[in-house]
Structures are given as structure tokens and as C-alpha cells.
A and B are shown apart, each in its own frame.
Chain A
């Protein structure tokens, strides 16, 4: 493959959210969740979306996933408008109970590969093993979801999302429920995966520190109705830790943006 086609391919995979609005109509009252949200995300970019609870982060992610339809505006993945859900945009939901209860952990993680017939049996088994090891669940591969803790379920869901190497990975506060040590190691693993496969990642969090550690860019949302207040490039050198040079400045900058609602 020549250089030209590579560049072309990258451009054609750009994720563009163009001026979308979303209002939930629940009975008598309408609830504006998103208002004129626009953001362009290059292929392979790692964008964190930071915002207070209830500001519409999940709604935005569900619109990108095609699980929710925006009232107006357009979401484009490359040249194609997003019309519905699909395996090119894999979601890690905020919900604990996103594993299929009738499948073991192993079967859950293998499921996307099986459905999409991406690989022969043996290869699927290897990928599943690797991904389970990545999230520290290899000992629990034969457990059923109801036998796992909330954080373990979430880790299994992450392993499942990673198995088919989606072009776009949509993650909704995936590490919110794990202890800080596990969180740090999962963050490191996610960065490794991103550096290796360069999926486009949209990562929702309301943890400023997490946003600074992970994101290439950080989009700060205002409270309801959600708008994108500012997108900050975050080019601190990796690996980043709380003590890295520039970390606290970035943290303060984001914190100020968040509180100045």
C-alpha cells in the first residue's frame, strides 16, 4: 500500500459530529440534552469528553454509536453518515449489566468475533485469552456474569470491545467503578492498545486526572443542555503521571473550565 492511499484512508475515517441537537420528549416536559454539539475527530485520535453528571455525555456517545438519533445535525464517519449501530463503532457502556448473562466471560468476549466471523476458532481463542489477560480476568474466563463484581463485569466488557479492533471505540466512563490501582493499569493498557492499533477513541469521563492522562485532546462540556465549551489539545509527553511536568497546570485549566459553568 502506498503512502497516498494510507493518507486517503485516514482522512476518509474522520469522525465528524456536525451541529447535533437532541431533546428527549418525556410526557409533558421536554428535556434538552444536547445543543449544537460539533466536534471533528481524526482517525486514530484519542479524545476525552469531560463534563458534569447529566450534561449529555452518554447521549452524545449513543448518537455516535447510532443507538440514538439526533433531532438535527449529522454525524459522519468518513464519507458515510451514521444511520444506525454497527461493529465499526464499538461501545463500552456505562451500565454494569452489559455482558450477556447466558454466556460465560470467555464466550462474551469471543462473541463479537464469532458474530462477525473475523477469525478461525483457534485465533479467536487466542485473542480472547490475550484480552482477558489484559484486563486481569484470565482466571474468571468460565464464570458467568452474575458471579462477577461490578468492576470485573466492566473489565470483561472492555475486553469484549477490544476483540474486534474496532475503527472507533466509544467508552462511557469505563473505569469509573474500579479501584485506583486497577484503574491506573487499565489506563496504561488502553494507551498501549491505542498506540498499537490506533483506533479512534472517544472516552467519556468526569475525572479530570483521567482525561489528562489519556486524551490527545479534551473536550469540556457544559451542563445541560450539553454543549461543547472548549476542546483543549493535550500534548503532554507520554507516559503521563500526576507528577509530570505540566500536569497540574492542565488539571487547573480544565477544572476552571468545568466550574465556570
Chain B
């Protein structure tokens, strides 16, 4: 963990040096505004932080993604549990996943706008789409990989149906569930930023993707980079710190791996 952190730090410092060197060397003479120095980027970053704007942006984006993830995970769980309880539903779910999984969320945007108008709903729709299918795939794979004996132990002590699913199948498939959640998070975080750029505001509120789009409009490249840094940092924090923590508290502690 510590080693990983140091490695990353070295990499980031190296990259920054390379960046700054390139900017100062004047290889891109007229394009200072398109390729800003680190100083300018951090100034822009400091500005959005100081003005409090950043927290509004982050809050909005994170709110949308948490809402989308929640709906997506619940839907995925419900559909997967139904699918293991009934062959017919399993057929439907399998077909739906096959059709929908390869479809990029952005391709659904026009449809989402027609259905929901602009605002939060189409973005949440895109997020749900991004997480639902890989999550179902993972949960189903997890259910199939459960050693028969866990189910038998559950049935033996009197569990069946939904209680068996919740008390035995879900925890037994948890490593797969978590893997699905990680993939879902990564996909939906990207989908969110992309969707926001296309119509990120509802009223006066907007998220990070919308902010990037706006800064491009004002040709404030430092602002664009500042927002990109924030997006990356959030990604790393969630993937390394949050998911790392969940893993240590669950699958690693239990000695289970997917």
C-alpha cells in the first residue's frame, strides 16, 4: 500500500517535471493558452476551490452518480435474484444484457433527452445504463460460481427463496458483486462527465463535466485542466481508498476472492 503510494508519487512528480519542462521550452510557442503551465493550472484550481464553486460542482456530480449507482445496483440485484429464481426471467435478463451491454451510454443520449427532457433525469438514466449491465453480468457470474455446499448448508437449516438469496447467495457472490461495482463505478463516472458536457445543467446547477464544457467556451484552458485534475483525483480516491477499504473490510478479511 505504502509502496504503491510512493510509486505513484514518483510518477506524478516525474510527469509534472516533464510537463513544466515542455511548456517552458517553448516547443509550443503561440499556444500558451492551450498548454498552460502548472502554475496557471493550480491557480485556476485554487480559484474554483476558494470561490467555493468546486464544492458545488463536485457535490452535483457526486449526487448524480450516487443516485445513479444506487438505482443501478438495486435494479441489478433485483433482476439477478429474479433471474436465478426463474428460468424464463433468466432468459429475458440474459437477452437484455447481451443487447444492452455493448451499447455506449452516449448513444442513448438523444433517446434520453426525448424521454426525460434535459436536466438530471437523462444523466441518471445514462449512469444507470452504464452500471446496470456489467453489474448483472458480474452478479450472475458470482451466483454461478458459488460452491454448491453453501447453498446446501442454507437449505439444510431451512432457508429457501429470497431468504436463501439474501443470506447465502449474495454474500457468497460478494467478491463478484464488488468487482461489478468497481467496473460499474468506472463506467458510470466516465458516462456522467460525458453526459454533463452535453446538457449538464438543470437551472443554475451543474457538475464537473459541465464546468469543463463551460471553460472551453470561455477558452479558459487552465480551468479545463483544473477540472480534469479534480475528476482524476476523485477517481483515484474512490478506486484506491474507498474500494480498497471495502475490500479490506470484506473479501480480504473473509479470505474470499473472485
Q: Do A and B form a real pair?
A: yes
Chain A residues at the B interface, C-beta cutoff of 8 Å: 65, 67, 84-87, 89-91, 93, 95, 97-98, 100-102, 111-112, 115-116, 144-147, 164
Contact bitstring B167-193, A, C-beta under 8 A = 1, else 0? 110011010000000000000000000
Query: B254 touches which one: A87, A95, A116, A146 (CB < 8 A)?
Result: A146
Q: Mark B150-168, 1 if CB is under 8 A from A, else 0.
A: 1011011111000100011
A86 / chain B contacts, CB cutoff of 8 Å: 156, 158
B11 to chain A, nearest CB (A): 34
**Chain A contact residues: over half helix, strand or loop, or mixed?**
loop
**Chain A residues positioned under 8 Å from B174 (CB to CB):** 102
B159: chain A residues at CB < 8 Å are 115
Closest to A84 in B: B155
Per the bound structure, the CA–CA distance linking A100 and B155 in Å amounts to 13
Partner of A67, one of B156, B255, B256: B156
Which residues of A sit under 8 angstroms from B163, Cβ to Cβ? Answer: 115
Interface of chain B, helix or strand or loop or mixed? helix
Q: What residues of chain B lie closer than 8 Å to A84, measured between beta carbons?
A: 155
List residues of chain B with CB within 8 A of the CB of A116: 157-158
Q: A86-B158, A115-B159, A116-B157 are known; give 15 further A-B pairs, CB within 8 A.
A: A85-B152, A85-B156, A87-B156, A91-B156, A93-B152, A100-B153, A101-B254, A102-B172, A102-B250, A111-B157, A115-B163, A115-B167, A144-B253, A144-B255, A146-B254
Q: Which residues of B contact A144 (CB under 8 A)?
A: 253-255
A67 to B158, CA, bound (A): 12
The residue of chain B having its C-beta at the shortest distance from the C-beta of A86 within the complex is B158
Residue on A with the closest CB to B167? A115
Whether A100 lies near B150 (C-beta < 8 A) is yes
Q: How far is the CB of B150 from chain A (nearest CB, A)?
A: 6
- The answer to whether B255 touches A87 (Cβ under 8 A) is no
Query: Can you identify 8 A-B contacts, CB atoms within 8 angstroms?
Result: A87-B156, A87-B158, A89-B156, A101-B255, A101-B256, A115-B157, A146-B254, A146-B256
Closest A-chain residue to B163, C-beta based? A115
Residue among B150, B156, B159, B253 with most chain A CB within 10 A? B156
Query: Are the C-beta atoms of B156 and A65 separated by less than 8 Å?
Result: yes
User: In the complex, A147→B153 CA distance in Å?
Assistant: 20
Query: Can you list, as one digit per residue, whether each of B210-252 has a CB less than 8 Å from chain A (1) or not (0)?
Result: 0000000000000000000000000000000000000000100
